Structure 1
Amino acid sequence: MDFSWVNFINSLVLGLSIGSIWLIAALGLTIIYGTAGVINMAHGELIMLGAYSAYCLQAYFGVSFLLCIPLSFVIVAVIGLVIERVLIRYLYSRPLDTLLATWGVSLVLMQGVRMIFGSDPKYINMPAFLSSNIEMGVVSLSAFRLLIIAMTVALVVGFWWIFYRTNFGIKIRAVTQNKEMAASFGIDADRVYMYTFALGAGLAGLAGSLFAALSIVLPSMGSGYIVQSFLVVVTGGGSLIGSVAASALTGQIQSIFAYLFNDTFARFLLFVLIVIFLRFRPQGLFTSGAVRR
């Protein structure tokens, strides 16, 4: 193939948008795992619930797509809060049981949605201005992907501020480092875990509302997104900064390989590189200086 700098630059910008999408999907998983150490196998289905929340709000209540995004966050956050209170709160000290329980929750959610909505695909209607392309010099990018990049930056900055500049963030970091010591200072670890799980679930719902506009909405759509989410979290080392770096790096690598070869082969090469990387650095790109107790 003939090399073109214009197409190559466009692929780099596209890789940034791909990385942003992966980061939004992984952000909730990163927060839940980083705080409570829970490997949430139902994260993909929470993303799916966000997509169906946006679909229902738009199809049955006539809500605009831009308003569906924050409402999907709220709806799935409430669902996550219920799951945490009913099930997860009893399993924090049993990681294997938590993994199996969340996997069971994922099956229940998937089959429940299939029984209610059926297996036929659903579609989200985006505003016309988000369906257009924006020219920035030699770079051409869809307005919707620019929206995703902007939202990703806002979310990362917002959660950095929450974790490092608020009283709630201090409580989260204290519970993460030493739950018993935090309790001695009057911090309710159970409440911190509850709010954190709901927050992570809400982020999954927000991601689902965005994914609903990129592709069709199906009960099984979450299974594909959870693989990418875990790859970002594991490669990044389970921290917020690690997930940001891993999503940007993997997005760029896949975009460049897709430009040079094709998308299927690009995914294969990306997975091979991640396996090789984790073989020599299993702790990921960044490691936390604190030890969970």
Structure 2
Amino acid sequence: MFRGSMVALVTPMLDDESIDFDALEKLVEFHIESQTDAIVAVGTTGESATLNFKEHCQVVKFVVDKVAGRIPVIAGTGANSTSEAIELTQCAKDAGADACLLVTPYYNKPTQEGLYLHYKKIAETVDIPQILYNVPGRTACDLLPETIIRLATVKNIVGVKEATGDLSRVAKIKAGVPESFDLYTGDDATAIDFILLGGHGGISVTANVAPKALHDAYFAALAGDAAKAHAIDAPLQALHRDLFVESNPIPVKWAVAKMGLMGMAIRLPLTPLSEPNQSVILDAMHAAGIAIKA
């Protein structure tokens, strides 16, 4: 359904930790101008774990309204409670989102059968395109290729965001899913190779900082031009690595703030980027040719 570079958008906040909707509108316009191919609102990079239900729905609706159909909006609606994920997914549908991205339930570590039934129930309850999201490094829960293949035949489940960085999974998943089922990477460092192996795009943290470069690199990869894609991506490799020098989204929010697009605020229990790592992020931004304005 979606192709190219999809930004896992940060959620800007004011110093009192409330949502900065003025900055959020600024970010929406920045990404549309930069040719970002879709916006993921309130994904895990958007601090979904610390926004309450009302805020979650407010941000999704705000982004949908400000985008106004110019590019797709995908709402992060995953939760470790199936009933809560259903409520969030319904809220996103009511807000006019084009699709939902559902991270695997975290902490409670369901079985593969539990994961299958979790996603199946959400898909059967809310009629909106849904993308599975597997990031076991954050959730302690691995959605295995065999389970993804089972879910790929369920109505409304249209793709998967695979964030393990294990490129061998691309072939395993593609071999068992319908041709219409989309594969997106969530691992910026291996994204080009993922797409060259048959993926359809990426849902990216780095896209918050270098959206135009990633759009160009991903579409070169989609066209099969490996040399061009890697050449565009090479200066971004330090960003791909160092934006995770502390827990995401701590570094990327600091970087976006240094671009002059929003303030530095982040919500507890996350804390601002530590001083020793600020030079690390600045060096990565300089290597990528990102202008520092703040």
The structure having more radius of gyration, on CA atoms, is 1
TM-score by length of 1: 0.25
- The structure where strand makes up a greater share of residues is 2
TM-score by length of 2: 0.25
Q: Which structure carries more relative contact order (alpha carbon 8 Å, separation 6+)? A: 1
- The structure where helix makes up a greater share of residues is 1
